[in-house]
Structure 1
């Protein structure tokens, strides 16, 4: 009976603690939304560091206290004992993509070798870093299926949308994409068709993809920029091994 009473007391105390934690998070959410009504808050989580709360909003992590009396933005939380970049680890976790849900039929498909590994690339035809990624890095990788979502950033490259349409409407999209990337040549015959460019833009906004190139691997991890081939290879292998 005494043991049962102790267990009951412990469970009651734990439930009070969890209830208070959720109440603090709900109160903090309300305070932030009142201060910044246009901000979309995805999650709030109390950290184990000095009473800080991690707030994931608008695709970024900020830190604050329970009263929102300050906000740390664009900073890194580092664990001094392990030297871990806690912010980077959490960002990787919070921004993972459900690869299986991606509408791959709206992407240009290029198969190299046995195509066993998979990667998605959001790419702008007029983005110099996208061309660098294709020419210097992806060209050196074999046994991969690359799905390229054409994502023209018109505010930066006004003609990128027209180029995207021309490439998508070509009889052989994969060849047209490679001709543009490696030879700077667009399809010679004009063609018109329904394109998924607007849908891809909606998808990119939903996933908080705001720059090109952005790579997404089969395990949902994303990579921003024209990373070296060895880093891309490592990420693809990790994604493939995590599925085994």
Structure 2
């Protein structure tokens, strides 16, 4: 009997070692949420855990599959939100796949050079989105290019149709600015990326507009982003930190 138990223990241990992070996470998650789908799973900075994306949420699963933690992980010594670091990486990689053909770009014009670029998930009927865009000339004057991605929220009925109409207009940049000032963009339709971008936002855990992301994929707090001066200073700080790190 003792010999049999030893064999079983060794067999079980071999199974655990052979299991990939995704398999361990999937098995653990299915035990508590059978219909949940694991999108990504990998080694975590947190010792003894894998980190994974389930839906749009980050979770941590112990390597033996026994514990599942839902929430942010912090490196206290270095004062770093590890979950936000991982989420930023996922966002950066996802945004890199969204070409200029799916963005509405407001870039600085000569003689002002583009020093920084931010990506903004926006909704035409969002009051704070409109306030942000009212200052677009000031952002551009400070060398900040703004790449808009449509994300009409369900709390704004009809915002998706307005986004599609802007996208299908002859001059998207002009139509976007007019729509953000309250003008009806009409009802034009054509093949457009609105639904695709909304799905992308949801998959990245974005649930509000405007959501402003820096070049590194990190979300910039609204209290900073809504000020052209503060946003420029924050982007300068991030750029300097990235250069120093490399």
Q: Is the TM-score greater than 0.5?
A: yes
Q: Match of 2:35, SS?
A: coil
Q: Match of 2:106, SS?
A: strand
Distance change in 2, residues 1:240/1:123 (3 Å)? farther
Determine whether 1:213 maps to 2:171: no
The CA deviation at 1:124 is 0.8
The CA deviation at 1:158 is 0.6
Distance 1:231 1:22 in 2: 50
- TM-score w.r.t. length of structure 1: 0.69
Determine whether 1:93 maps to 2:92: no
Aligned residues: 219
Deviations 1:188-227 (A, max 9, x none): xx452414123333443554544322234444x1426634
Distance 2:229 2:37 in 1: 36
Unpaired runs of 5+ residues, structure 1, are: 1-18
Q: Match of 2:178, SS?
A: helix
Q: What does 1:131-170 correspond to in 2, within 5 Å? A: 131-135=130-134, 138-141=136-139, 142=141, 143-153=143-153, 155-170=154-169
Aligned-pair Cα RMSD in Å: 3.5
Distance change in 2, residues 1:119/1:177 (3 Å)? same
- TM-score w.r.t. length of structure 2: 0.69
Determine whether 1:223 maps to 2:222: no
Unpaired runs of 5+ residues, structure 2, are: 1-14
Distance 2:203 2:84 in 1: 21
Distance change in 2, residues 1:203/1:46 (3 Å)? closer
Distance change in 2, residues 1:174/1:225 (3 Å)? farther
Distance 2:221 2:80 in 1: 23
Determine whether 1:185 maps to 2:183: yes
Name 1:60's counterpart in structure 2. Answer: 57
User: Does the 8 Å contact 2:25/2:41 carry over to 1?
Assistant: no
